[in-house]
Amino acid sequence: MSEKTKELQKKLLWEFPHIGKKYPDHREKAEDFCQGYKEYLDHGKTERECAAISVRMLEEAGYRPFEPGKAYAPGDKVYWVNRKKAVIATTFGRKPIEEGVRINGAHIDSPRLDLKPVPLYEKNDIAYFKTHYYGGLRKYQWGTIPLALHGVIIREDGAEITVSVGEEKGEPAFCVTDLLPHLSAEQNKRPLSEGIKGEELNILIGSMPFMDDESDEKIKDAVKLQVMALLNEKYGITEKDFIRAEIEMVPAFHARDIGFDRSLIGAYGQDDRVCAYTALKAEIAAVSPAYTTVTVLTDKEEIGSEGNTGLNSDYLGHYISWLAKAQDADVKKVLINSICLSSDVNAAYDPTFSSVYEPGNSCYINKGCVLTKYTGARGKSASNDASAELMAKVIKIMDDAGVCWQTGELGAVDAGGGGTIAKYVASMNVDVVDLGVPILSMHAPFELASKLDVYHTYLAFKAFYEAE
């Protein structure tokens, strides 16, 4: 190939670089950045826990609770919490709010097994919890792994009990059983999606019977009674209290470095706490932004952004209207001039399962955050399709800041699909585009992300808030 052709190739064609090659010195920076990220993952395994840690981080950084109606000055930092499950943080900008705000929305709920309202039962001297899975998960992946129990119980006397069992060394864990290969001939004929069925996601929680010192009479459901006795001793609860509870069973393992080179992080719940953490760090880093920032860590994305803590509710709109009102601004003008990054993960190209990806339009680990123009399924259905103008704006912000980014669809056409919060924010008449971290084994109990991608996603979010 002649020099001239090489030059032409370089000038006309485009390929996204590998961050490790483009910025060798970022390996150490990413390593440092991800220490805090791993701690965030280990201490935030539910939306409530993530909201609480995020508030703690915000308060330590000088944020104060937002007071609707109060006048704020540029540089002031506030936060607002929606029902303990969603958090909004703001740094007030130098420009009048009618010029728009900069929204960064990520979600802090992740797929898991929720306890049913009447969860406790006994069968053949073994006690179990019945579960109803939350979000899109592949049920067969949740058998035979250690699970931890997290949640809240409101007792009859009104006391709110926070529970967490299975995370600390020395604590017991729980698990869903599965058949041995010797006896699974029938089960093996099931489609993979029914390898373990929904009503088989029963969690083993005990096997010792309650002992009555004063009588030899047989006790009905003695193992169930023993479990309840232990729970009553520790938390003062009775069986009825489960109806006043939200208890989530999540993988009990902690975040780990993956690979000889430690280039990846393996952990539960990286979708989408990876964007929540990076968004929060970028929010905290904003000192004197031109535009007012609105960092939203939301709930219920995994079940369609439903409920009053999901972004299909009006809470974000109400918050922005409070911001507008404080400056006597028209909230409709604020919204039409606003830009939102719907910060969520995308499916990284997996060479082992390459047939579901279109290689030219997939995202890859270690090539940076992924800008996803549209999501959806079957002809972009139910998707926010970001405009060329918005793509240009966001790409310019990242290019100017030297951020490594790439683009990618969620799999090949008609291979599947998915959604994010993007369309709900777009329906408020805000310009929205998806941006996030490529993930391997997404929605599995143990998901993988590249440290360099995590770091560059943070850099992208920081640049978004710093842009004039």
- Residues of this chain that bind Mn ion (CB under 5 A): 271-272, 344
In whole angstroms, the minimum distance from the beta carbon of 305 to Mn ion comes to: 10
Beta strands in 215-310 (DSSP E): 245-251, 256-258, 264-267, 292-298
Q: Are 251 and 166 in contact (CB under 8 A)?
A: no
Distances (CA, A) of 119 to 112, 165, 166, 224, 225: 15, 17, 18, 11, 13
CB nearer Mn ion, residue 248 or residue 466 = 248
- Residue 250 burial class via C-beta count within 10 angstroms: exposed 0-12, middle 13-18, buried 19 and up: buried
Shortest distance in whole angstroms from residue 52 CB to Mn ion: 20
Instruction: Name which of 202 and 346 has its Cβ closer to Mn ion.
Output: 346
Q: Residues 258, 262, 268, 272: is their CA dihedral positive or negative?
A: negative
Do β-strands 264-267 and 256-258 pair in parallel, antiparallel, or remain unpaired?
A: antiparallel
Write down the least CB distance from residue 376 to Mn ion, Å.
14
Distance (Å, whole) CA 72 – CA 78? 9
Closest residue by Cα to residue 435 from 311, 341, 302: 341
Q: Closer to Mn ion at the Cβ: 137 or 430?
A: 137
Q: State in angstroms the smallest separation of the CB of 15 from Mn ion.
A: 27
Q: Which is nearer to Mn ion, 178 or 350 (CB)?
A: 350
Place of tokens 């709010």: 97
Do residues 80 and 316 touch, judged by C-beta distance below 8 A? no
The two structure tokens encoding residue 104? 């960064």
Q: Which residue is nearest to Mn ion (CB)?
A: 272
**The token pair that represents 139 in the structure block:** 């049920």
Q: Which is nearer to Mn ion, 241 or 447 (CB)?
A: 447
Smallest gap from residue 117 Cβ to Mn ion (A): 25
Q: How far is the CB of 135 from Mn ion (least distance, A)?
A: 7
- What is the Cα–Cα distance from 342 to 104, expressed in whole angstroms? 6
Q: Where are the beta strands (DSSP E) in 278-421?
A: 292-298, 339-343, 346-347, 369-372, 376-377, 405-407, 417-418
Smallest gap from residue 460 Cβ to Mn ion (A): 17
Beta strands in 35-125 (DSSP E): 64-65, 77-82, 86-91, 101-107, 112-123
Minimum distance between the CB of residue 345 and Mn ion, rounded to whole angstroms? 5
CA distances from 122 to 108, 130, 196, 222, 434 (A): 33, 10, 20, 8, 46
Looking at beta carbons only, is 248 or 271 nearer to Mn ion? Answer: 271
In this complex, which beta carbon is closest to Mn ion, that of residue 127 or of residue 341?
A: 341
Nearer to Mn ion, 272 or 283 (CB): 272
Measured between alpha carbons, how far is 389 from 251 in angstroms, rounded to an integer? 42
Tell me if residue 344 falls in helix, strand or coil. Answer: coil
Q: How far is the CB of 450 from Mn ion (least distance, A)?
A: 17
Our CB check for Mn ion shows the closer of 93 and 418 to be 418
Q: Are strands 339-343 and 292-298 parallel, antiparallel or unpaired?
A: unpaired
Q: Which is nearer to Mn ion, 338 or 343 (CB)?
A: 343
CA distance 42 to 50: 10
Do the beta carbons of residue 454 and residue 275 sit within 8 Å?
no
Least distance (Å) between residue 46 CB and Mn ion: 15
Name which of 47 and 272 has its Cβ closer to Mn ion.
272
